[in-house]
Structure 1
């Protein structure tokens, strides 16, 4: 499914968009973006379809019901905001699933200019979370991603269910014992939610452990007050090879997150010292 981008699209598309609400819950979709800056696109060997396969399309839909949300519109192949700054621009195939990314490698100066997006994003995120913390005392950030489970090819068997839960919860950088009331309530709620033909398989640290930069940043900057949960949806809501979405599945997963919001707010307020939203 070829995605065509005009020069006007590439220049006009914002880096990210942020919506501020009244809740202590924040949702982010930092790999949802697909656009590239025009001069980056000119250097890249990857086709839009190849990029899309490793991006997280439609994840912005899953956080539409959160009052506080951030959606990144630029591709992770321009800058990956879930990597540390020094590795946020993929320059070698081993940084990006073995893919040969560049027809012409960007200059050092261009890479540094791209990395200013990384700096700006985390400055914005820190300011947002400080504001939410001032209002509520504590907050929860749902760091929404997706992952492939048909890497062997469109006609090959998918990754075994034992190794690929429908929703993988990553908790590597958090104080798991401290945030247990929040995590356990969240996961139990998601497991109760219907999905076409079955219930959702929700497990912790199976396909991924939640070692990304954003959750690490939150737990380092907001110890004891910020709970960042890495939420990886298996791409059961789309065809990861063609990019074709499954609207029914997308709506079911959005509804699952929506159902979890009052559960998360209640768990957060019940913690010692918690505020009522």
Structure 2
């Protein structure tokens, strides 16, 4: 199978700050689409639409048009393909409930090919010295229903900064600087509620980078609360997306400064 649709790389990849948005995509390959019964709106709700537009603040990035329901690139390989409802929040995804074995293994091969392609890019980045990968995601905060109030802000920051597997002895000053800059009311579009590891700590992509590039790679897993869209209708707020992208861009110079200090 031609896997060129799964990911693409854009930008020069000559910087020490790169980005991914591995759940932004909505495409599924034809053989999976034939056996998928999950309504498209439900699938869209569990994806991270428009996060690729936020990640576009970073010139060098991996673009993922493929849905997490084909392969979830932020889960360990053994969990990367949703085979049963238990793998995906109880959702009935496949016509016969369980994804057929052949399709399952094809998706695993896709997972392997994506990580191999990313490794080739990051190996070159790591040869130049310490780097940051901004892993851009989003999360729902209105799960009780479209007519219900949003979940309390005290437990749902505007941006959750996931650093659970970051080597703080090496990158602690960088993490703190980034959090301050992203929240700074004088930068970007104004003040942002940024808190660390409140809802998410980063997962497979962060684990993989930190294991492959110890003391060299630093993944900051960014979960933007879906205030930039209506999570039930899927309608985006273009101004809010642009603002999130501007805020992220405003924090990039600080990252460059901290990386230079580490080098």
Whether contact under 8 Å (2:83, 2:104) holds in the other structure is no
Residue of 227, 230, 234 corresponding to 1:236: 227
2:121 is equivalent to residue 128 of structure 1:
yes
- Counterpart of 2:198 in structure 1 is 206
- Counterpart of 1:113 in structure 2 is 106
- Counterpart of 1:257 in structure 2 is 248
- Counterpart of 2:238 in structure 1 is 247
Whether contact under 8 Å (1:138, 1:226) holds in the other structure is yes
2:196 is equivalent to residue 224 of structure 1:
no
Deviation, 1:246, is 0.2
Q: Any idea what the Cα deviations from partners look like across 1:146-201, whole Å, max 9, x if unmatched? A: 000000001111111011000001111111232111100100001015787x6210
Distance 1:126 1:28 in 2: 13
Whether contact under 8 Å (2:21, 2:51) holds in the other structure is yes
Deviation, 1:223, is 0.3
- Counterpart of 1:45 in structure 2 is 37
Task: Assess, with a 3 A threshold, how the Cα gap between structure 1 residues 238 and 176 changes in structure 2: closer, same or farther.
Answer: same
Residue of 44, 60, 73 corresponding to 1:68: 60
Q: Any idea what the Cα deviations from partners look like across 1:86-120, whole Å, max 9, x if unmatched? A: 11111122221221111133321221111111001
Deviation, 1:132, is 0.8
Whether contact under 8 Å (2:188, 2:246) holds in the other structure is no
Distance 2:215 2:60 in 1: 20
Distance 1:207 1:161 in 2: 12
- Counterpart of 2:10 in structure 1 is 19
Distance 2:103 2:3 in 1: 19
- Counterpart of 1:179 in structure 2 is 171
Task: Structure 2: state its 5+ residue gaps.
Answer: none
- Counterpart of 2:90 in structure 1 is 98
Q: Any idea what the Cα deviations from partners look like across 1:24-49, whole Å, max 9, x if unmatched? A: 10100100000011110111111111
Deviation, 1:14, is 1.1
2:136 is equivalent to residue 144 of structure 1:
yes
- Counterpart of 1:5 in structure 2 is none
Whether contact under 8 Å (2:134, 2:221) holds in the other structure is yes
Deviation, 1:64, is 1.4
Runs of 4+ in 1 over 3 A off after TM superposition: 193-196
Deviation, 1:12, is 9.8
Distance 1:156 1:32 in 2: 25
Residue of 16, 21, 29 corresponding to 2:21: 29
Whether contact under 8 Å (1:168, 1:204) holds in the other structure is yes
SS of structure 2 residue aligned to 1:43: coil
Q: How does 1:257-276 map to 2 (within 5 A)?
A: 257-271=248-262, 274=263
- Counterpart of 2:149 in structure 1 is 157
Task: Structure 1: state its 5+ residue gaps.
Answer: 1-10
Count of residue pairs the alignment pairs up? 259
Whether contact under 8 Å (1:13, 1:35) holds in the other structure is no
